[in-house]
Chain A
């Protein structure tokens, strides 16, 4: 687990083994192989005055924004308008990002690879010319999943390829065995939507009808897909015209110079951040449940980031082999990681990550869950293996930037809906028409805790920063359901010095119909996927609740609505994570809670007054305040300082009494404090060596070359203690997960938690390489 850094030349991305976008995901080489028939515009000004730069930069940003607005206006589909499942980009001639948009962040990471593949594979035959556009959705070339259809538009100036404008928009349906093309029971990609490697659908500014008909033919909703295609086309044309207008006004060398300077400035800012951070390796381990109906196994996903000087390398080594219908391709994995990279380390570049990417490598292991080989099923990637690739990236990057006090303020714990608990339902609606839908509510998510503030309750999913969930009244108008409630759930937010955001639960009964047919599709119901960080606890798991033959009608008749499904009588049924075709009758009550956000730091360090305010606001229960936070409240609801101090001391003692202690007798270090590797873990000098130490009491946690966890007191607790909403994992999976707590052997301070299967080795989450 603690392997030394490999030489960069050994990385598979650089060796370009078989990652050609056909059997394995396409990994672009450092130097693209482009046909000489395609001339690239490569002349640009190196010195641009600050005013021209700012004016053109602002205009380019607006070009991209107008591009996104054009797609939304023309499409008008709920996908484009509510879920904002789209993203426009501008890239340089050689496919470095200048800008992408604030919409679906996944889509950024899958854009440049598709343009690069097109440059390599289409520049000779059929050629890339002025007035062409390419349509693409092949996840092995670079889409997240088949429904994310891209339209790539080269922009030419005087016969040379000047830059690219592109967009990506999720389509209603492009074929496959399930309406909507989201195919949870697919055996492989042949059961899923049509796969289209980049094809020239627009030639010399004309739509090629033959290609368009081929594209639309496999869709169940060809009219909607055709309209969306026109929206994408208009978006690209708008952006292309505006770029050309900028060139006409300011000159090609200036506009290109601005693009390159945006990249160079971003690169410089990124390197400046890297220079402030120690070299090292940071790891995280998460699990996906239920890869196909009936599966009770657990599938491991590993993420490693290595920082070596000016370079970051992401790896997925240790991830389990591809399986069932949960996989993602290389581009999905890379796109997921780029979301966290942008949000934590490049946010001030305003979506210009191209400069940073010059120093980031991705080293995939093929055939794995998140770098699956053809023809694995990948249509559910964005809600399964891309989520599970993304959220650990918040952890590893947060730990990487923590040593720097300023960058620390940008870190973020894992947010809510870290796996999507899908509610797929269908039938005849209250208007007499056939319908099929996936409940969008989990997009309400939750945002993870920060190093200096609480997370944001129902603050959305971090990967789609500007989406909105539909109002209950919107859902009830369109579908035959009546919501008994949609509410934030007490204690769902991960406990910590800073608390994770709460998530919410939606609960409905059929209304205006006799029956609703449903499927579930979820993971993260047994093992929390929004793990906390640096002593913070996990947020709530996903949870389905189903009560058959309830007394809800009687309660409604008495005008006495329940505040929770638990207040009703009926027969509780456990829904499995890929349960197919179960029927909800009017007396049956269905509720779905989406996972909440992780907490930051030891909950016993949380200011008691904040816990009191949480209890007052219903964010934390009295029981959790006492048991997890060790806060004793007075009758007036305020915290009792003395009693709390005593209760917390007792809890720390109890931790140590329960725990397995390290062999070495604890001793204090008095060497100089170098920095805080985490909120609880210091790096101190000890003679000529560097050691890990408790950030609270300076107890020695061993030399830097070792895993600090081995010198901690280890307390393995049932997973149910990690969050009040976590229930018996045995309902869904066979392996037994545990909540491992690693404490300072002297003072009992919680250094770190781990959520792991019983037999899994202790994770070496941090290994620093200091000089």
Chain B
């Protein structure tokens, strides 16, 4: 038997999804080990081997594909535990990374507070000013060298930084994406002077137009490099020693994987790779289900991540932010809000108002009911008070929940604004659910999509409990809680389902009319480069798939849109067709009539997504189904408060694992699976579909 394995290291838990050749799915969940994340990963694999009744090495030998998503990079940045980085840049522009375009890094922060300046300081610099060196050299907007590289200054800068004890060097010169000669030469000099030192050039990680976002990407990559490459090499070695033979793949934020060597050079690609793997998994499942338009929602303890799959393809973004830093990174677009099970509820007696989030109790101290010292009630506490969660069976019984403490905290909160405990708990859930509906509107309606054309996939530990409410609010057709027990380990499953992906970009601002040959030369170069990389990775030509696109905009305007090309090369007279595709995409995103008729277009980026197909998990469609719910699936009945009915009602609780394909439940009902609770409100129907997903639909 061979296996496909995906592992997702999160801040709290490390998840593992194992699919065998027959399509059987096994998941494990173990605590993460922040001291050395590779231990948690091996623990998760060992738990899988145990469940399969195999020795770990025998299991590793039979793995056909192992892919690994990780939040180690993100955590390294947030906890400021990266390397001591030296930055070498064009003389006169040393401060670009500090000036941050004058923006203080508000992206990703609570926009309502941006006018409260005492709370909006810039983040601690990734590279302090004293570790930045300017070197005389200059390339202009045409890509021409107007000042040759001053090698004496360059060598002095490198020696000086090395003497200061830097652990990595980032190199970013102005306009290097138009002419990388000076950056590449500088890298040679670093390798000569300080062999073995981690070094990153901006052209290798972010060959894009705009020095602030490019230098930040470069510096962050260097900041992560020594930490991540060490940890990845350790895992790789351990697995090789255990007999795994196929090359470890690392999930990346573009929606695929890269070989461990590339991840070691470009650890920036792993930022957000965990949540993105959830989108990859949804795309994979969507193909099997025939869902081309999907809203994915991933709700854990602290955050709620939303993304859009439209026409079978994810939405992409090209500028990202982590902890106030903004940088270029081609990735699957995720919108994140601070709304999770741990979101804090607060009452304001004076105005008699109640608010939820965006701050969170996190895993520590966590909700009041965790009994770890949390005193402010959270969404999880509210769910417990309403009866949705089973205090004895939370997280497979690993954590006993304290109902009395949660009730007391919520009762006190409610009393301060004249509400009863249950009413207040129901209010907390409603507020957080409608906040979620609002954020989903942002990624759909505000981007030109109608949620009614979409199916909503709900996963993550806390998602399926709320999806029934926010999905109905949005008017989506149905909710899918994927693969029952995999719902809380969905990102690990996604890592296993991902293809190898290399995103190659060339930035050159070309105003139309531009000869096809000029663009094609760039596409040609990207393809050559991709073939070379993949060949080195041992990927046969037959497995390679290329998808070309261009980022295009109206000259003089800001909005760039990516146009996926139906061609491998632009045909002569391509312009009319390109304009048509551009206008169609532009108006889809920005609204009918928003495209400036007759305006000159500019091609800004040529992009190649080079994929290599990998073994796919098999989704087995059940042959038999039955409407009869097995008696043993009914665990118990419990009194649960239903806001729609405005009262408590004795409600059946089912074991999701014991339900069988074809079973159908009318709300109100609760379905429990490992680590997830699906709340089926009145007016909803839950069905176990032939692929083993829960499908929730709404009464008209």
Contacts and interface: CB of A to CB of B under 8 A. Distances in A.
Interface of A: 49-51, 53-55, 57-59, 61-62, 65-66, 69-70, 73-74, 76-78, 81-82, 102, 105, 223, 227, 230-231, 234, 261, 265, 268-269, 342-343, 347-348, 350-351, 409-410, 412, 430-431, 443-445, 447, 450, 452-453, 456-462, 465-474, 476-477, 482-488, 504, 507, 511-512, 556, 559-563, 616-618
Given A234-B591, A348-B116, A471-B211, A561 B138 contact: yes
Contacts of B590: 73-74, 76
B699 to A, nearest CB: 18
B100 A458 contact: yes
Nearest to A56: B434
Residue from A65, A230, A343, A471 having most chain B Cβ neighbours under 10 A: A471
A484 B92 contact: yes
Given A105-B115, A343-B117, A74 B591 contact: yes
A62 B554 CA distance: 29
Interface of B: 90-96, 98-104, 106, 111-118, 120-122, 128-130, 134, 136-138, 140-142, 146-150, 174-175, 209-213, 347, 350-356, 417, 419, 426-427, 430-431, 434-435, 438, 441-442, 445-446, 509, 511, 554, 556-559, 589-591, 593-594, 596
14 contacts: A50-B347, A69-B442, A76-B559, A343-B117, A409-B118, A444-B101, A447-B104, A459-B120, A461-B102, A483-B92, A485-B91, A488-B99, A561-B90, A618-B130
A82 B427 CA distance: 39
A459 B427 contact: no
Given A487-B94, A559-B147, A616-B130, A50 B427 contact: yes
A265 B103 CA distance: 31
Contacts of B589: 73
Contacts of B142: 430, 512
B595 to A, nearest CB: 9
A473 B141 contact: yes
A662 B9 CA distance: 70
A488 B557 contact: no
A45 to B, nearest CB: 13
B352 A76 contact: no
B141 A617 contact: no
Contact of B102 (A351, A453, A460, A476): A460
Contacts of A460: 102-104
A563 B91 contact: yes
A459 B117 contact: yes
Given A61-B112, A70-B446, A483-B93, 18 more contacts: A54-B354, A57-B353, A73-B589, A81-B558, A347-B113, A410-B118, A412-B117, A443-B102, A458-B100, A458-B102, A459-B117, A466-B111, A471-B212, A485-B93, A486-B93, A488-B99, A512-B142, A561-B138
B174 A473 contact: yes
A465 B114 contact: yes
Contacts of B138: 482, 556, 561
B93 A55 contact: no
Contacts, number: 244
B102 A482 contact: no
B117 A73 contact: no
Given A73-B446, A347-B116, A431-B511, A265 B353 contact: yes
Top 6 closest A-B pairs, CB basis?
A: A485-B92, A444-B102, A51-B427, A81-B558, A347-B116, A76-B557
A426 to B, nearest CB: 16
Nearest to A101: B111
Given A466-B103, A486-B99, A617-B130, A559 B136 contact: yes
Contact of A504 (B99, B122, B438): B99
B380 to A, nearest CB: 18
A347 B114 CA distance: 9
Contact of B430 (A55, A57, A482, A483): A55
A51 B102 CA distance: 38
Contacts of A105: 115
Given A50-B427, A73-B590, A511-B140, A488 B102 contact: no
A342 B114 CA distance: 12
Given A51-B427, A465-B106, A58 B435 contact: yes
Nearest to A448: B117
Contacts of A269: 351
Nearest to A618: B129
Contacts of B147: 556, 559, 561
Nearest to A66: B446
Contacts of A467: 102-103
A343 B116 contact: yes
Contacts of B174: 472-473
A553 to B, nearest CB: 10
Nearest to A51: B427
Contacts of A450: 117-118
Contacts of B554: 76
Contacts of B212: 471
A66 B591 CA distance: 13
Contacts of A476: 140-141, 175
